[in-house]
Amino acid sequence: MSIIIFLLVLGILIFSHELGHFLVAKWCGFRVDEFGLGFPPRIFSFKRSGTVYSINIIPFGGFVKIYGEDPEGEKNEDPGSVGKSDETPMYKQGKWRQAATLSAGVIFNWLLAWLLIVATLVTIGLPIAKSSVPDNYELRDVKLVIVSTLPGSPAAQAGLESGDIIVAFRSRAEPIRDLSPEAIGQFTSSRAGQEMVISYIRQTPGVKDTINEVGAVPVTGLVPEQGERAAIGVALESVGTLKLPIFSAIIFGTESIGRFTYLTAVGLFNFFAQIFHGETAVLSQVSGPIGIASLTGSAAALGLGHLIFLMAVISINLALLNLLPIPALDGGRLLFLLIEAVKGSPIKPKFVRIVNLISFILLLLLMALVTYGDILKLLK
């Protein structure tokens, strides 16, 4: 079931991206020869108004084939075989129209993320951390959730994991009635050496929720910034469902998309900076198709709101990844277009093809490493 949900989510994200290229190319007057979801061989296709619409067997991608997008390919093509013989190929069209077509996929991924967030806020409500919501907004069904556990900490040794929902927290002598991150932090800070009993629920797809109980003893020195305050090594967050009227949803949704975009951009910059400095361990912090499929299944098990939120976050990631100035991605093609505009003449197609091929091979190697990491995580 997780695979089906993952493929459905992936299909929507790819369709949105390629639809952006397709619609803007048509609007700019370019001849679009094919709009394909997935990569060949074809499963199904039909032709309408000069464009072939196809569904292909390899699901990890899509494409919009525009006449004259590749100068080398255009030289070997007979325009009269698929269209008018006097049509102008894309690479000979105005730079602004080319740039609009190339950037449209990224813009549509952002628009999709924005629409998903706003629509969810208005309809079923969006699962969100209390700390991310203004005080004048009210959350429903608030739960205390473990965001992360510190490796080697008492909480990690007790088996607590990110995503666990805390339902009760007490020492052997007294319970704590205020289940908030601040209250629990205050409670444990002065109780070094006293065992804390934590009751929690771990939501697992296909398994009925049950309350588990573990013990953990707070220790000092876990977080240097906190001095001698005792802790068990968990980051906690109050998470609830936010539902808003349409006008407030538009404002909050726009702010949220801006914040997610900024955080994602910073994360991508740090990731590639660490890769550049040879820190390959950072690969364990990212997920490829296998990891995303697992995350999608877990999000779906938590509810539709969680799945839509994850889908919006992935859509923003896809937008920013495609915007990177790497040949073979939209950002790289925009970079070549900018260089041509500055130098006043086209870049040699042979050079572009070689650079694109090398970049594509490097991207495949990176994807293979990330997928290998995904498999190791699943085995663990």
How does pLDDT run across 312-353, given as a tens digit for each residue?
Answer: 999 999 999 899 888 888 999 999 999 988 888 888 888 888
Does residue 240 come out as left (phi exceeding 0), alpha (psi in the -120 to 50 range) or beta?
A: beta
Using only the alpha carbons of the chain, give its radius of gyration: 25
Residue 55 maps to a domain: yes
22 and 56 together in one domain: yes
110 and 11 together in one domain? yes
Q: Which residues pair with 58 in a beta bridge?
A: 39
For residue 263, being part of any structural domain is answered with no
In degrees rounded to 5, what are phi and psi of residue 31? -85, 120
Domain boundary residue, one of 187, 212, 242: 242
For residue 306, give Cα distances in angstroms to 114, 145, 313, 325, 328.
15, 14, 11, 31, 32
CATH of the domain at 204: 2.30.42.10
Quick one: tokens of 196?
Answer: 């804390």
Gap between the Cα atoms of 242 and 368, Å rounded: 38
- Claim to verify: residue 167 and residue 92 sit in the same structural domain: no
Distance in angstroms (rounded) separating the CA atoms of residues 144 and 176 = 13
What are the helix (H) ranges across 223-286?
Answer: 246-276
265 in any annotated domain: no
In this structure, what DSSP letter does residue 229 have? Answer: -
**Same domain assignment for residues 13 and 116:** yes
Q: How many CB atoms lie within 10 A of CB 44?
A: 9
Domain check: are 208 and 306 in the same one?
no
Alpha helices (H) in the chain, listed in sequence order? 2-27, 71-75, 79-82, 95-122, 154-158, 181-189, 246-276, 289-302, 304-323, 330-343, 349-379
- Return the residue matching tokens 């900076």: 273
Residue 281 lies in a domain: no
Place of tokens 């949105």: 16
Whether residue 113 is found in the same domain as residue 144: no
Question: What CA–CA distance (Å, rounded) separates 78 from 65?
Answer: 15
pTM over cut 0.95: no
Same structural domain for residues 44 and 138?
A: no
Residues 161, 209 within the same domain? yes
**DSSP 3-state assignment of 162?**
coil
If DSSP codes are grouped into helix, strand and coil, which group holds residue 235?
A: strand
For residue 345, the 8-state DSSP code is S
Is-contact 100 21, C-beta < 8 A? no
Number of H helices, E strands in the chain: 11, 10
Q: What domain count does the chain have?
A: 2
Distances (CA, A) of 159 to 197, 213, 356: 13, 10, 46
- Judge whether 248 lies within some domain: no
Distance CA 262, CA 330 (A): 19
Specify whether 9 is located in the same domain as 112. yes
Residue 163 has which token pair? 């995503």
Judgement on whether residues 152 and 236 belong to the same structural domain of the protein? yes
Q: 96 and 143: one domain? A: no
Task: Judge whether 276 lies within some domain.
Answer: no
3-state secondary structure at position 171: strand
Residue 280 forms part of a structural domain: no
pLDDT in tens, the chain (380 residues): 678 888 889 899 999 999 999 999 999 999 999 999 988 899 999 999 889 999 999 887 889 999 988 776 555 554 444 444 447 888 888 899 999 999 999 999 999 999 999 999 999 999 998 888 887 888 898 999 988 888 888 999 999 988 889 999 988 777 888 888 888 888 888 888 888 999 999 877 666 778 889 999 998 877 777 667 888 988 899 999 999 999 999 999 999 999 999 998 998 888 778 777 766 555 566 666 677 777 787 777 778 888 999 999 999 999 998 998 888 889 999 999 999 888 888 888 888 888 888 888 888 787 777 776 767 666 66
- Of 218, 242, 266, the residue that ends a domain is 242
Domain that includes residue 220, residue range: 132-242
Collapsing DSSP to helix, strand or coil, 140 comes out as strand
b/e per residue 308-347 (b: at least 16 CB within 10 A): bbbbbbbbbbbbbbbbeebbbbbbbbbebbeebeeeeeee
Domain end among 242, 262, 279: 242
Same domain (yes/no): 118, 141: no
Residue 323 included in any domain: yes
